[in-house]
Structure 1
Amino acid sequence: MATRRRIPFLLVAPTVLVLGAALGYPVGWQVVTSLQKFGLLQQFGQPPEWVGLDNYAALVTDPTLWAVVARSIVFCVVVAATTVVAGGLIALLMRRVGTAARLTLQVSLLVAWAMPVVASMTVWAWIVDWRRGLLNWLLERLGVDAAGHNWLAEPLSFFVIAAVIVVWMSVPFVALSIYAGLTQISPEVLEAAEIDGATGWQRVRHIMLPLIAPVLSIVLLLQLIWDLRVFTQIKLLQDAGGVVNETNLLGTYIYQLGTGSGDFGTSSAVSILMLVLTLALSWYYVRSLMKEET
């Protein structure tokens, strides 16, 4: 009997060990490096200097870091919430339209989601280009004087453009996930509510949302994690004309410290801070999921 109980654990153990090694080594290396002075000389073989918590102490008093952290949290929360709302509305739309329209929507979402990030960012960079971009051309045709306006030069418009791009890339996953949850709701329950006089909004609010709450929780959790560590979209927009020091988020700030400045010790410390921040932001949702499992 005891042997039979151990069999599932023995079967899972190899996978757990591989995942632990694959995930544990990079995190362990980051922790050790964050406690060292690790710069360009160390890349050429010079032993790193052990500095303990000095990198963290320097970060605590660095106003630039806290500006980046605040900017990252605001961007993450706004974009994640917008993505879930937009994805939920599209999921409701797919539930109401006919088969042909639903299949067209689903294929369009899959194509947008499957598009490589760099390829799609090339198109977006052309759209917002201040010299020959589609956005300025369209605004000119609508009577708005936007000739030569650089949307990426101002931090506010930069992050609006970045938010639109990130939401556009993330909505397909959220919409399809929520739609999959909606398909599991019994039609008889909704029909009974409609017969009792419930409006469409009441059916959504009091029946659909509570029944798909686990799906909403997990997609929101994933979006918070993904949007907090967004890098490629921000970096490519910065390369296209953004002011780096005014538009850095945590991902690009870590890149700037490490690859750009060669200060891998400090960049590792920021990486650990980013990991802690990710856990802090997602803890509420993880705890909620654990309660539901219990």
Structure 2
Amino acid sequence: MTATLPSATATSGSTKADRPGRRGGRRFPWAPWLLLTPSVVLLAVMVGYPTIKMIVTSFTDEAIRNKMLGTAPNFVGFDNYLEIFTQSDFPAVLARSIALMVILTALITAGGMLLALLMRRLSKGWRTAVSISLLLAWAMPPLAATVVFGWMFDTKYGVANYILNVLTRSNDWTDHQWLYNPFSFFMVLILIVTWQGIPFAAFTFYAGLGQVPDEVLEASQLDGAGGFQRFRFIVMPYLSSVVTAVLVLETIWNLRIFTQVYALQQRGGLVSETNVLPTYIFRQGMGEFGVTAAIGVIMLILLMALSYFNVRRTLKEEAL
């Protein structure tokens, strides 16, 4: 009876290893995949199919006439891409959008970091007041914020012109047209987007600052490290992943701004000199779907290229 126990154990073990649903002697994790299935299906329907459809359309001459007549578009290869780079103002719009994105991302990231550091030093009452103010700015719809700022910089009734006249003790700013000049148009736009974008960065960085051990900061201060040195060599390494996430998100969001630009253009901005990629695609998409899809593909590739290095860096840090 004692001699048969090892054989029975071995038989039992081999039977469990050969059961269905196991790979290499281990049970296949069905539960995580079942939980992920709804999300994967939703992403495939809401993101995957439209992306594939856009890429296919970019190689055709599909237009509004095909929808009205029910005819199939013709395959044109890379003609749409050559057209938007050689026969349109797309290169100028692309350069303008990238420059605007870089400026907005830098201002929002730097402003959010400064506010987060300030909130760490404020008393509880002041910190609560600052948090509520940031939440109010963040919660305001972009269209409503743009309308308010549009009235502030209005040519005849704007408070900006009135304040500048008072400060300069002159009438030089009377009837000054902020939105009719492309440079001042983008100054107003940057002000609006930065004002609404800083709260997200500030709250994110403030939460990340809570991960920095106070003991390490105190020890570095006792060793003679200054404020900038503590921030650079101690705080930033702890916040590197948080900063990367904010940079990636802000890069994507600032390259896709539409509401603020379109609303300001409706108040008097010159469309041809203030268009960015989203508004350019919106106006282009009225009839030529193939050309519009080609612009969308270029914008997608640009966003992926801008985010690639930051995401790769984050993944490397998580793997260490």
Q: Which interval holds the TM-score relative to the shorter structure?
A: over 0.9
CA distance in 2, matches of 1:180, 1:290: 21
Is the contact made by 1:34 and 1:55 (CA closer than 8 Å) also made in structure 2?
yes
Structure 2 counterpart of 1:289, one-letter code:
T
Structural mapping, 1:132-151, within 5 Å: 132-143=157-168, 145-151=172-178
Q: What is the distance in 1 between the residues matched to 2:237 and 2:189?
A: 32
The aligned counterpart of 1:228 is 255
Deviation per CA, 1:5-36, whole angstroms, max 9, x where unpaired? Answer: 34322321232122122111221221222222
Could you tell me how far apart the structure 2 residues matched to 1:229 and 1:92 are? 28
- In the alignment, which residue of structure 2 is the partner of 1:55? 80
SS at match of 1:37: coil
Amino acid at match of 2:273: E
What SS class does the counterpart of residue 155 from structure 2 fall into? coil
Query: TM-score if structure 1 supplies the norm length?
Result: 0.95
Correspondence for 1:245 among 272, 280, 293: 272
Partner residue, 1:75: 100
Give me the whole-angstrom Cα distance separating, in 1, the residues matched to 2:269 and 2:77.
35
Give a deviation string over 1:25-74, Cα, whole Å, max 9, x none. Answer: 22122122222223232342432421332211212313511111111111
Q: Paired residue for 2:34?
A: 10
CA contact (8 A) 1:155 1:243 kept: yes
Query: By how many angstroms is 1:150 displaced?
Result: 0.8
2:298 alignment partner in structure 1: 273
Question: Which shows bigger deviation, 270-279 or 141-150?
Answer: 141-150
Judge which range, 7-16 or 164-173, deviates more.
7-16
Equivalent residue letter for 2:27: T
Contact 1:182/1:212 (CA < 8 Å) preserved in 2?
A: yes
CA contact (8 A) 2:66 2:73 kept: no
* Aligned alpha-carbon RMSD (Å): 1.5
**Unmatched 5+ stretches in structure 1:** none
Q: Name the counterpart of 1:23.
A: 47
Q: TM-score, normalised by structure 2?
A: 0.87
What is aligned with 2:243? 216
Deviations 1:77-131 (A, max 9, x none): 1110111000000000000110001111111111111111111111011011111
Q: Which runs of 4+ in 1 moved over 3 A?
A: 1-4
Further displaced range: 15-24 or 68-77? 15-24
- Between the aligned partners of 1:59 and 1:250, the Cα distance in structure 2 is 12
Show the counterpart of 1:290: 315
Greater Rg by CA? 2
Q: Count residues with an aligned counterpart.
A: 292
SS at match of 2:183: helix
Contact 1:76 1:228 in 2 (8 A): yes
Identity level (%): 42
Shift of 1:200: 1.7
Amino acid at match of 1:25: Y
CA contact (8 A) 1:36 1:48 kept: no
Does residue 97 in structure 1 map to residue 139 in structure 2? no
In the aligned structure 1, how far is the partner of 2:291 from the partner of 2:55?
11
Aligned AA for 1:230? I
> Which among 102, 110, 118 is matched to residue 85 of structure 1?
110
What is the DSSP-based 3-state SS (H/G/I as helix, E as strand, rest coil) of the residue aligned with 2:305? helix
